[in-house]
Structure 1
Amino acid sequence: MPAFIPDILAAIAMVGVAYNLAGAALAGRWRDTPAKRPAATPSITMLKPLYGPEPELAVKLSGFLDQDYDGPIAMVCGVSRADDPALAAVPATARTVIDPARHGSNAKVSNLINMMREVDGEIVILSDSDMSVPRDYAARIAAALEEPGVGAVTLLYSGRGETNGWSRMAAAGISWGFLPSVMVGLATGLAKPCMGSTIAMRRETLDAIGGFERFRDLLADDNAIGMAVRELGLQVVVPAPIVTHSCTETSLAALAAHELRWNATVRMLDPAGYAGSIVTYPLVWGLIAWIAGACWWVPFVALLARLALAERIDVITGRRTAPLWWLPARDLLSFGLYVGAFFTRRVDWRGAQLHMARDGRMTAEPETRYP
């Protein structure tokens, strides 16, 4: 092996160390502060496309209605089948749309298209069914949308395991990996996120971008919605708070399938950025450098940087995502799935096999039925 190889590997690891320390420092920007109250309280419709059973779904849905907000809030929940188990969790005050009509390959967007006939709010807030939010959620969004030039609001999210150790391992991937990467990307201007955790906009903005019909064949519909809003010359802003994504994976296979889909989507949307994110795994590179002949302190420093970032994120989100001693295993798993996404052309999404095209569109095989 050439003598310079360990030095190159160690340098990559040190770049990753700097990235992790920057993430730990920047995370403070999203430390929760008292909510700014909106000057007006326009009516809000919460959109909840549902599919299948989820732990604590009724509690999560109710949280979106139990808001410290003076204006009217309505919720529309949508499913494609009358026997969907998610219907049992729908709040009594919510409107329910049961419609099997399919519009395009994206089942969630198809559901949203069907649900729009029940929407009458001045503000429309779309969020994934596995999200939990604080009581000032609606007020913060309404206040953010009042700012000049703001077309949409999206929110960062951390992970919380809901089932067993694998769900906590999945949560660690979100909180200790994904979340700080978006924070650094926002601070440097390299990231322009719009995430399914929350997409909020005025009804006229949604109409101006062509409604949900425009995104019916796109895998990354949330990202595409953000791009469409920016095409209007409007901003997509990311204020506090950090909301919570409930992880329900119960096996390594489920975790890998979910994260491969997510990684493959990011790679498809931003190939150069995804390739560049290889430096965000300093512990892995430190270990490789050490095996190749670099000094022992390279992986040690990388481990300290990763632990500092994980601890910082957990302090800001107010909970221990997973035991810190899991972090090395989590990083090795993340790196393996990162590499695997370069070879993925088909992903699983809630029982449907999605075939990914280079333009971001997809075709879908039939969905599986509930057991």
Structure 2
Amino acid sequence: MECKPTGGVLSPILLILWLLTGAGCLHAIASIICLIRYAGQTDDRPIAYPAVTILKPLHGDEPMLFENLSSVVEQDYPGRITVVFGVGDRTDPAIQTVERLRRAYPERDLRLVIDPRRHGRNGKVSNLINMSRDIDGEIVVLADSDMRVEADYLSRVVGALQQAGVGAVTCLYRGVSLPNLWSRLATGWVDGQFLPNVVLGLSLGLAKPCMGSTIALRRDTLTEIGGFMSFKDHLADDYEIGVAVRRLGLKVAVPAQPVLGHMSAATSLRALLRQELRWNRTIRTVNFGGFVGSVVTHVLPFGILAVLADGLHWRSIALLCLVIGLRMALLFQVKRFVQKDTVELSLFVVRDLLSFAVFLGSFLPGSIDWRGHRLRVRPDGLLTAPDSTGP
């Protein structure tokens, strides 16, 4: 692709590519600044240690599941902790992992709910509804099974929840990869795009996230928003819980710490694309304007296209070098922010090109694949069967 300037004037295509690349450079600089500032937040420690019930909905034998769940059990929180695990099938292999946990931590209050009843189309929420009968703490914490936490996780979350005006707490997360290429690429998306975009959006007041990594709220607040039953048909159930909490006039806090570890379990390109298309379509559904605006985050593909459109001219090559430098600087800042030496740097070019392809693909019509079920998402965020067009 070559778009030569005519009469000293840049072609429209090249001009658009330059503008998008320039906007992407500004976005990268802003993200670096926001990461530095966000990391400077003060930490809120609890003024009391009320009883906590942690809900862990499970489905299948995920990679490193025992280690992820063990990190939740091994908390230094001095208050009473009950951990409730839930599955919807008596043959689910995750049950064996829970029994292994019970043997490893006999002194802990670890409960297992096996209940096949289905409520709505969101399987995770259906599981949570069935698990709700075992909630007995003042504070409820629900978190996805692929999250790994540090021993002070619960104390930090409870401390943030006890601040004035806070109705719920959610947590940022970084990628943790398995030793395979696809898992490393999945980790690159979390670290290189998702995390800095969330921090930038929070810093500028443009994002109001509530993420499945952690949602902590008081039991009374959960009751006031209608319990989990209110979200049984929503794809973005975590986001909708945040919306419901804010409707009560309360804030959803997102502290700088803890930054949790998200286990990226992709083992093939197909699995990676399936997962990321679901994530992208979820974000597009809950915040279409913001999702479209995130096109500027794909600065490297636009920089490469600008070089090709400019006939390998030195000016576009210089701009591409700036883009690469800024992307590297952003990844190094993410590495400092998460305080872990695990941020994927070597694959960022391939990762950025793949992310752009997934971004474009998310606008195509189609269903999503969620734990083996094919579902469609209505414009209001509700899930329906692939052949359903009604309400």
TM-score (norm 1): 0.95
The answer as to whether partners of 1:13 and 1:283 remain within 8 angstroms in 2 is yes
CA deviation after TM superposition for structure 1 residue 364, in Å: 4.3
Name structure 1 gaps, 5 residues minimum: 366-371
Superposition pairs for residues 216-235 of structure 1, below 5 Å?
216-235=232-251
Superposition pairs for residues 129-208 of structure 1, below 5 Å?
129-208=145-224
1:297 matches 2:318: yes
Name structure 2 gaps, 5 residues minimum: 103-108, 387-391
The answer as to whether partners of 2:335 and 2:343 remain within 8 angstroms in 1 is no
Q: Which residue identity is paired with 1:131? A: M
Match of 1:268 among 285, 288, 298: 285
Superposition pairs for residues 33-52 of structure 1, below 5 Å?
36-52=44-60
1:77 matches 2:93: no
Q: Distance in 2 between matches of 1:60 and 1:261?
A: 23
1:105 matches 2:105: no
Residue equivalent to 1:242 = 259
Residue equivalent to 1:369 = none
Q: Distance in 1 between matches of 2:233 and 2:384?
A: 7
CA deviation after TM superposition for structure 1 residue 316, in Å: 2.4
CA deviation after TM superposition for structure 1 residue 63, in Å: 1.2
Residue equivalent to 1:9 = 17
CA deviation after TM superposition for structure 1 residue 325, in Å: 3.0
Instruction: Calculate the aligned-residue CA RMSD, in Å.
Output: 1.6
1:332 matches 2:340: no
Q: Distance in 2 between matches of 1:345 and 1:357?
A: 11
CA deviation after TM superposition for structure 1 residue 80, in Å: 0.3
CA deviation after TM superposition for structure 1 residue 25, in Å: 2.0
Equivalent pairs, count: 365
Q: Where does structure 1 differ by over 6 angstroms across 4 or more consecutive aligned residues?
A: none
CA deviation after TM superposition for structure 1 residue 322, in Å: 5.4
The alpha-carbon distance between structure 1 residues 165 and 30, as it changes in their structure 2 partners (threshold 3 A), is: farther
Match of 2:140 among 103, 124, 147: 124
Q: Distance in 2 between matches of 1:131 and 1:355?
A: 26
CA deviation after TM superposition for structure 1 residue 233, in Å: 0.3
Give 3-state SS (helix, strand or coil) of 1:144's partner: helix
**Once structures 1 and 2 are overlaid, which stretch shifts more, 100-109 or 30-39?**
30-39
The answer as to whether partners of 1:172 and 1:321 remain within 8 angstroms in 2 is no
Q: Which residue identity is paired with 1:237? A: A
CA deviation after TM superposition for structure 1 residue 319, in Å: 3.4
Q: Distance in 2 between matches of 1:34 and 1:22?
A: 21
The answer as to whether partners of 1:167 and 1:250 remain within 8 angstroms in 2 is yes
Residue equivalent to 1:310 = 331
Q: Distance in 2 between matches of 1:68 and 1:29?
A: 28
**Once structures 1 and 2 are overlaid, which stretch shifts more, 215-224 or 36-45?**
36-45
